[in-house]
Chain A
Amino acid sequence: MERYYQPEIECASRETILAWQNERLCKQVKNVWDNVPYYRRKMEEKGLTPDDIRGVEDLHKLPFVTKDDLREAYPYGLVARPLRDCVRIQSTSGTTGKRVVAFYTQHDLDLWEDCCARAIVAAGGTHEDVCQVSYGYGLFTGGPGLNGGSHKVGCLTIPTSSGNTERQIMFIRDLNATILCCTPSYAAYLGETMKEMGLSPDEIPLKAGIFGAEAWSEEMRRSIQETLGIKAYDIYGLTELSGPGVAFECSEQSGMHINEDHFIAEIIDPQTGEVLPEGSQGELVFTSITKEAFPLLRYRTRDICVLSRKSCSCGRTHVKMSKPRGRSDDMLIIKGVNVFPSQIETVLLAQGYQANYQMIVDRVNNTDTLEVQVEMTPENFSDNLAQITQMEKSLVAALKAMLGIYAKVRLVAPKSIARSEGKAVRVIDKRKI
């Protein structure tokens, strides 16, 4: 029997959902017009006032918000509430080192945790469950989001955060964790490790997993489900909108229900910005209609996917999005962390290297790896090997500081990085996703 966290919302009729969206959108537009000069200016540039937006059918009139806007408005430019009303920030990396900082009121946190709770219940979670949250805690939204959702469902929550595989496995076994929340690659890694320890799926207490923050394939789902003996559910979200739980999978495991009472989804042509008819593949755009502190109108996610309103056997009525099939920009998700090639360029130039580089992304033992190949320069060369090694180390440290993840640096001979017809190939992604 399908269970819901908020059945009256999750299974509401289309008309009801649309009525909520109409009302909340108008209110939100009025809110940003009154409280966020940045939005007001953008609307004025288009000759719009809040009166022009009478409902979802007018949404397309509003200007888009992009990561560039977030950078320009950093840190407070898009905050719609006085800071004394805000209780939390979360943060993710931006395009050139400036981080995206999202603000939350207590009410925002509540709604976000509700969304995560819906995902946990959709994965079969109840207050009888023990939920191990192995997403990173901190600025990253994965840990805090699922932690809050798990509390709302009433699960016994184990906040292991990421890393320390031995301890993760110890808690899963000793405390009989039944639900695991982490990145799919970490789930696969945990599975492989337990297999190597000689544990069969029957000996692993887990029954479900909620995995997100990075792309994964159906093949990967099958292999995780097999090694851990669980059902593996996808979850989607962005720090800019709240975090995980913007959309989540149900028992059908075929696309993620978008929480439409909080987010209006559109699919646009990434080139022209035109809204595409239902069922088309294009860039996903979100409007957060219930956010108090950090509302975003028509935020371009750069994720390419398809929306479907086909009725779902789980009984939920909210629109479903497919797994993102790619990006309309050059952002990579490595170990669940957003990485832009421009960030690497910034570090290289600051460290006296030229912007000739190549990023090799791979997945080894189910873990993402990043290698940055950098051409040696005359200025950075020395006859003393220790000096080169030292410089290499400081480059690794600077990359870690910028990206938040370890990148192996490989110094290569000058001109050895292929220059292909004008546009350099900066990224080689060998991951089979």
Chain B
Amino acid sequence: MTIHQISVFLENRAGQLAEITGVLAQKGIDLRAINIAETSDYGVLRLIADNPQAAATTLLEQGFILSMTPVVAVSVPDQPGGLAKVLDVLAKENIDVEYMYSVFGQVNGLAHMVFRVADTDKLISVLKDNGLEPISSENLGIR
């Protein structure tokens, strides 16, 4: 139930993001989610693509430094308190969220959140135990 996130090293300079999205667009790769963490000098771009393998190969060919990171996506009701409920479960189970971000768009009133934690398997089982279903890659339109 894990999803392959591509993490890319970003130098803080104008045009870096345009370059990355540009080469992915050329290969017809669609982005499902995107997130950036940065300091004043550099950052990490995290993205979920519809075709992770193709996206990774394309970026590696362009000389980017990247890693594949397993993350878990969860549907949450797109309403006040929806995310809070999930986070509450994680807090109770002592699962430390390294970072999280949302997937573009919503389906049937549900928003999708991506979680990065140290122990992915534990996260999946905790979610299931609490009636929250992790979303499969297919359901996010990922090949």
Contacts and interface: CB of A to CB of B under 8 A. Distances in A.
Interface of A: 376-378, 381-385, 388-389, 410-416
B132 interface: no
A383 B98 CA distance: 10
B29 interface: no
16 contacts: A378-B66, A381-B66, A382-B44, A383-B5, A383-B46, A383-B67, A385-B38, A410-B41, A411-B9, A411-B11, A411-B41, A413-B9, A413-B11, A413-B65, A414-B63, A414-B65
B69 A383 contact: yes
A411 B41 CA distance: 7
B63 A415 contact: yes
Contact of B7 (A383, A412, A413, A414): A383
B26 to A, nearest CB: 19
A381 B44 CA distance: 9
Contacts of A410: 41-42
Interface in B86-143: 98-99, 116
Interface of B: 5, 7, 9-11, 16, 37-39, 41-44, 46, 63-67, 69, 98-99, 116
Contacts of B67: 378, 381-383
Nearest to B116: A383
A382 B68 CA distance: 10
B43 A385 contact: yes
A382 B118 CA distance: 13
A376 B38 contact: no
B48 to A, nearest CB: 12
A39 to B, nearest CB: 49
A413 B38 contact: no
B42 to A, nearest CB: 5
B65 A385 contact: no
A389 B11 contact: no
Given A377-B65, A383-B5, 12 more contacts: A376-B65, A378-B66, A381-B9, A381-B66, A381-B67, A384-B98, A384-B99, A411-B9, A411-B42, A414-B63, A415-B63, A416-B11
A388 B42 contact: yes
Contacts of A384: 44, 98-99
Contacts of B64: 413-414
Nearest to A384: B98
A197 B101 CA distance: 49
Contacts of A377: 65
A385 B43 CA distance: 7
Given A383-B46, A388-B42, A413 B16 contact: yes
Contacts of B7: 381-383
Contacts of B63: 413-415
A71 B11 CA distance: 38
Contacts of A416: 11
A240 to B, nearest CB: 38
A383 B37 CA distance: 9
B141 to A, nearest CB: 22
Contacts of A381: 7, 9, 65-67
A153 to B, nearest CB: 48
